[in-house]
């Protein structure tokens, strides 16, 4: 299979200015400013094959958007190599943009004051899409994303969810083989989220569209991406199957207890002392959560002890969530996957 994205030792440094303290400092800052060089993206290697849907994740400031800006030719790298769709995104700009679609959830690509369909019409010209192709492809996109009633409204009058659906449609006008989505579901309600997910799945199946997706909503990733690339402080700390990540790190269970009477965490901890269990309390609904290794025997022991000591209102056994797994990995900082 061909590689759609090939990135070698890609690096982007920014100058981070620091201000000096006090009035004197501020005055000095006017003339010379102190700065240090911070690598936002630190020599990363990534290869993406045609038709893959890759989740690009990491905490705030990890370098995800910076990577996407370089991959789409908006930013020039400090060093390293980028080949996307067989081109250098920055150098072959005009030809290149015909082959990609981009959505930045944080920022609109549409013209604020004109009706959505006018934006579409302009983009259709920019991308030199034929009337036939437009009709055939966009009718379907418009119907699936349910934006027909929005087309004659100016973008500034749309709600966030309405606008995001239009943004996505706009990114697809030329039916690009490669889509970059930077937080496309930010702030959307569940129904719109599901609609967008379904739609992305559909175009991936129908056209074998390659998708690189960043999101803080891991359920997006779980629904769409078999592969995740995890970034931490500009470095790739994991690149592989989401499933493997869960198998390797999700070896824990959570027991959620609610008691009939008010109980103190110390007493609960005492009851299971000697067993390898960590307790947390969810103050909001007075749930006591035991986090422990996923061993049947241990789980039975803990439940038996707790049940013997307190009157139980509710018990639940949960797998550790992907969120929990990812949080653990960030805390630890690095993963080796064999």
Q: Which candidate, 270, 260, 253, 257, places its Cα nearest to that of 318?
A: 253
| Contact flag: residue 322 with Mg ion (CB under 5 A) | no
Residue span binding ligand ATP (CB under 6 A) among the ranges 59-67, 95-103, 299-307, 311-319: 59-67
Write down the least CB distance from residue 114 to ligand ATP, Å: 28
**Closest residue to Mg ion, based on beta-carbon distance:** 65
* Interface of this chain with ligand ATP, residues 66 to 85, rule: CB under 6 A: 66
Q: Which residue's CB is nearer to ligand ATP, number 40 or number 129?
A: 40
CB of 126 to ligand ATP, least distance (A): 26
Question: Closest Cα partner for 182 from 168, 193, 194?
Answer: 168
Rule CB under 6 A: is residue 60 a binding residue for ligand ATP? yes
Which range touches ligand ATP (CB under 6 A), out of 62-70, 90-98, 108-116, 304-312?
62-70
Residue span binding ligand ATP (CB under 6 A) among the ranges 63-71, 138-146, 167-175, 249-257: 63-71
- Residue 88: half-sphere exposure toward Cβ, Cα within 13 Å: 9
Paired with 279 in beta bridges are 290
CA atoms of 120 and 6, how far apart (whole Å): 30
SS3 1: coil
Taking CB under 6 A as the binding criterion, the range among 56-64, 172-180, 237-245, 293-301 that sits at the site for ligand ATP is: 56-64
162 binding Mg ion? (CB under 5 A): no
Residue of 40, 48, 150, 171 that binds ligand ATP (CB under 6 A)? 40
Sign of CA dihedral 127, 130, 135, 141: negative
Among 40, 53, 57, 65, binds Mg ion (CB under 5 A): 65
What token pair was written down for 165? 């659906």
CB < 8 Å & 24+ apart, contacts of 63-66: 63/12, 63/231, 63/233, 63/234, 64/182, 64/214, 64/231, 65/104, 65/106, 65/182, 65/214, 66/12, 66/40, 66/41
Least separation in angstroms between residue 60's CB and ligand ATP is 3
- Of 64-72, 90-98, 282-290, 303-311: span binding ligand ATP (CB under 6 A): 64-72
58 binds, among ligand ATP, Mg ion, none (CB under 5 to 8 A by kind): ligand ATP
- Answer with the entry of Mg ion, ligand ATP, none that 77 interacts with (C-beta below 5 to 8 A by kind): none
- Largest Cα separation within the chain, whole Å, is 73
Three-state DSSP class for residue 254: strand
Stretch that binds Mg ion, among 32-40, 60-68, 162-170, 234-242 (CB under 5 A): 60-68
Question: Which of helix, strand or coil describes residue 109?
Answer: coil
User: Is 64 an interacting residue with respect to ligand ATP (CB under 6 A)?
Assistant: yes
187 contact, one of ligand ATP, Mg ion, none, CB 5-8 Å limit per kind: none
312: nearest Cα among 331, 294, 338, 286:
286
Residues 10-39 that bind ligand ATP (CB under 6 A): 14
Q: Is 58 in the site for ligand ATP (CB under 6 A)?
A: yes
Instruction: Looking at the chain, list the stretches that DSSP marks H as alpha helix, in order from N- to C-terminal side.
Output: 22-31, 64-71, 93-97, 116-126, 131-144, 160-171, 190-207, 218-224, 242-249, 265-271, 296-309, 322-332
Q: Could you tell me if 80 and 8 are in contact, meaning their C-beta atoms sit under 8 angstroms apart?
A: yes
Site residues for Mg ion per CB under 5 A: 64-65
Site residues for ligand ATP per CB under 6 A: 14, 40, 58, 60-66
């Amino acid at each position: 299979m061909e590689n759609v994205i090939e990135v070698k030792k890609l690096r982007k440094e920014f100058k981070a200015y620091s201000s000096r303290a006090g009035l004197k400092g501020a005055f000095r800052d006017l003339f010379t400013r102190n700065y240090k060089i911070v690598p936002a993206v630190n020599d990363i290697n990534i290869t993406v094959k045609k038709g893959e849907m890759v989740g690009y994740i990491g905490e705030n400031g990890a370098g995800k958007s910076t990577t996407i800006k370089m991959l789409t030719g908006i930013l020039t790298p400090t060093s390293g190599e980028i080949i996307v769709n067989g081109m250098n995104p920055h150098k072959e700009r005009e030809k290149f943009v015909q082959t990609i679609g981009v959505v930045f959830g944080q920022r609109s690509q549409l013209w604020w004051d004109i009706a959505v369909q006018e934006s579409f019409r302009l983009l259709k010209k920019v991308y030199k899409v034929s009337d036939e192709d437009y009709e055939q492809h966009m009718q379907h996109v418009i119907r699936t994303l349910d934006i027909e009633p929005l087309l004659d409204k100016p973008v500034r009058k749309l709600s966030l969810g309405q606008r995001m659906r239009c943004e996505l449609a706009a990114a697809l006008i030329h039916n690009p083989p490669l889509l970059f989505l930077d937080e496309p579901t930010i702030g959307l309600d569940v129904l719109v989220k599901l609609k967008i997910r379904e739609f992305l799945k559909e175009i991936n199946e129908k056209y074998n569209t390659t998708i690189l997706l960043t999101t803080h909503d891991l359920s997006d990733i779980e629904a769409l991406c078999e592969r995740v690339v995890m970034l931490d402080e500009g470095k790739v700390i994991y690149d592989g199957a989401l499933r493997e990540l869960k198998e390797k790190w999700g070896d824990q269970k959570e027991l959620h207890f609610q008691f009939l009477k008010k109980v103190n965490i110390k007493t609960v901890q005492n009851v299971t002392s000697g067993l390898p269990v960590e307790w947390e309390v969810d103050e909001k609904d007075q749930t006591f959560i035991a986090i422990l290794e996923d061993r049947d025997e241990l789980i039975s022991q803990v439940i038996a002890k707790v049940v013997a000591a307190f009157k139980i209102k509710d018990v639940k056994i949960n797998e550790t969530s992907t969120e929990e797994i990812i949080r653990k990995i960030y805390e630890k900082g690095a993963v080796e996957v064999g």
